[in-house]
Amino acid sequence: MERDPAQTERPAAAAQAALRRHWGYETFKPLQEEAVAAALAGQDCLVVLPTGGGKSLCYQLPAAMGRGLVLVVSPLIALMDDQVAAAREAGLDADALHSNLEAGHRGEAYRRLAAGKTDLLYVSPERLLVGDLLEDVAPRLILIAVDEAHCVSHWGHEFRPEYRRLAEVLERFPRAARMALTATATPAVQEDICAQLALRGPARFIGHPDRPNLVYRAFARRDQTAQVLEVVRIHSGEGGIVYAQTRKDVERLAAKLEGEGVSCAAYHAGLPADRRRRAQDDFVNERLDVVVATIAFGMGIDRSNVRYVVHANTPRSIEHYQQESGRAGRDGLPADCVLLFAASDLALHRALALKDGPLAPERQRVLERQLREIGRYAVAPVCRHRLLVEHFGAIYQAKEADADMEAAGCAACDVCLGETKSLSDEEALLTAKKVLSGAWRMGGRFGAGYVVNLLLGRNDERMTRNGHDALQVFGILKESGEAAVRSWMDQLIVQGFLEVVEEREYPLLRITPAGQDLCRDEGAVRLGVPAAPAGRSRKKSRTLRKGLGADLPSDEELFERLRRLRRLIAEKLGVPPYVVFHDSALVEMAALKPKTLAALRGVKGVGDRKLERYGRVFLDVISGQSPESAA
Ligand code: ADP
């Protein structure tokens, strides 16, 4: 790459100039500037920023400054080509070396590397471990960035054995600075990363884990298909991911959505590789709106305008939830994250974890803690942003209610938006005691469904035969309705007052000692109820349709035309649309309607190279031309 004229300036000013020139951004996001400065000063560092926090820039910017080569280790081979395309769009000399590369491309990449022309090189850990890159790489290497660094830790949620061996390789490049990056890491995982990658007195840049643009909701699951469909319909025409627990769930839900005319595909590890690849490509390239998937989907997904993520089943841990729901709204625009909860999901997770035999005691404890935490997240009527943030060891600063805001707290979760209501302490205790006494009376010999019928006073032949319709608890919660009673039962399970035990393959509901204590007024309980049937209050809430206009006066018609133009250009170039421009840049264009190249350059995300390549055609469409004739 040619030398950057900004290079002779002070490092901070030079970094700022490169940010503007290559990416078209005026200011850094939190901690980016510090991470870049550390890298340029040769200091090791750990960077923990939430998804969408702008991690890539932390290592791409040093590469853009023409001082040498930056090596990026990433496990996401499927993503590398898109990352290279995006870096090239920003004007960097970028390449990737991984096993899926065509021979021709590989040869070119090696030639450029040997000639000292590469600024940024993505490699898979396997490729780096082969060890033959040393000669080509060493002389110009200034920084090794290890992306998805949580993969090095057993404590994380995606351990990869080959990451454990990276320290050996890093030792062979003692002069290069090391940067470990991840989106989700509890303090214990952060420690482990620093130790496993042998970071030398690292600076730590730990961002705030909150994602304020995500609107979190968690509801009791009643009718999975209907509840999923409701969210998909609100976002019709937009990108979304639906996560389900098992392959069977995935196939069933995908078929149902397709039957309802939704543009969608199924994705799970049991499908043939070409079908999986097609689903992923179509989704990233915006030819497909919805992917219904198991958690096998997502690691390689970099579509920045995913507008919603629905969990049709409860995820395995809060870390999983943060990671999976975090795929929504990377572009910083509002996006919805909806979790449909049932206590039976947790039992299935447990059963799957134990299917190959009992776990070591330590692993068993971790599993139980994780299930308890995600269950609590899903049912406790507590601000969901707060719960997530506190889980990752940070403090959540809630907003005060003011005249302009719909709700106090985060104003971006079902609890703070008033869609889920918390019962008062007395009401909660009274209700809990009713549910618990029903379970207690049944002596742990019946399933949850039977106890629900008992509490609702539903008489059937079995109930009469057992004489349970004569009990005092029969019909004690008749007025509350089945949805509420089931949800309370789940909430009491998650809080440890009830438990489900398997007996001869049959799940039985049992009161725990803590539940018995609560019936004697010892201990405290929290219970929530939906304040309105899910969805009815959704209109006043924050979703993208409104969100686009939240910060800027939006022109949706123009935004859609710009989106079409972007897709036409991306198809021509064979890159995903977000590589051309992010949605946020299109939103700003649609709002500001710039008339000149100079004015267009003022839009965030329009750097020198993009202005030169696409400026004219985007101005044409803004001034009224159709995308098809402009492109
Ligand atoms: P992460 O890898 O942390 O999830 P990315 O590197 O993908 O985040 O960046 C997320 C989004 O933020 C991208 O659209 C990127 O272009 C944008 N971005 C990065 N840095 C800045 C900045 N300084 N100002 C504005 N937008 C930025």
Radius of gyration of the CA atoms of the chain, in A: 27
Domain with CATH 3.40.50.300 in the chain: 5-206, 214-391
Q: Report CA(331)–ligand 1 centroid distance (Å).
A: 7
Segment 139-162, tens digit of pLDDT: 899 999 999 999 998 766 678 888
The minimum-distance atom of ligand 1 relative to the CA of 49 is: 3
For ligand 1, atom 9: residue with the closest CA = 54
Kindly give the interhelix angle for 224-234 and 247-259, rounded to the nearest 10 degrees: 50
Give the tens place of pLDDT for each residue, 157-183: 678 888 889 998 899 899 999 999 998
Task: Name which residue sits closest to atom 23 of ligand 1, judged by CA.
Answer: 28
Mutate to test the pocket of ligand 1, among 28, 31, 57 (most ligand atoms within 8 A of CB): 57
Q: Look at residue 156 in the predicted model and tell me its pLDDT.
A: 64
Mean pLDDT for 375-391 is 89
Q: What is the mean pLDDT of the chain?
A: 88
Beta strand ranges found along 378-505 (DSSP E): 420-422, 498-503
Residue ranges matching CATH 1.10.150.80 in the chain: 543-630
**239-259 per-position pLDDT tens digit:** 999 999 999 999 999 999 999
The model's confidence at residue 9, banded by pLDDT at 50, 70 and 90, is low
What's the CA gap between 97 and 88, in Å, rounded?
15
**For domain 425-519, is the CATH number 1.10.10.10?**
yes
Residue 554's pLDDT band (cuts 50, 70, 90): low
Domain 5-206: state its class: alpha beta
* Per-residue pLDDT, 355: 87
Return the residue whose CA atom lies nearest to atom 12 of ligand 1: 54
d(CA 423, CA 415): 12
Question: Is the distance from CB of 435 to CB of 427 less than 8 angstroms?
Answer: no
Residues of the chain with CATH 1.10.10.10: 425-519
Statement: residue 542 has pLDDT above 90: no
Write the residue with the smallest CA distance to atom 27 of ligand 1: 54
| Confidence check: pLDDT of 496 > 90 | no
pLDDT-above-70 percentage for the chain? 93
543-630, CATH topology level? DNA polymerase; domain 1 (1.10.150)
CA of 326, closest atom in ligand 1: 4
**Tens digits of per-residue pLDDT, 599-614?**
999 999 999 999 999 9
Pocket (CB within 6 angstroms of ligand 1)? 25, 28-29, 32, 49, 51-57, 304, 330-331, 582, 604
Ligand 1 centre to CA of 55 (Å) is 7
Strand locations in 44-97, DSSP E?
45-48, 69-73, 94-97
Q: What pTM was computed for the model? A: 0.80
Residue nearest to atom 2 of ligand 1 (CA): 55
Q: How many Å from the N-terminal Cα to the C-terminal Cα in the chain? A: 29
The residue among 126 and 134 whose pLDDT is bigger is: 126
DSSP conformational letter for 409: B
Pairing of strands 506-511, 306-311: unpaired
Cα-to-centroid distance, 69 and ligand 1 (Å): 21
What's the topology of domain 214-391?
A: Rossmann fold (3.40.50)
Amino acid at 624: G
Q: Ligand 1 atom 19: the closest Cα is on which residue?
A: 54
Whole-number Cα distances in Å, 384 to 77, 424, 439: 33, 19, 29
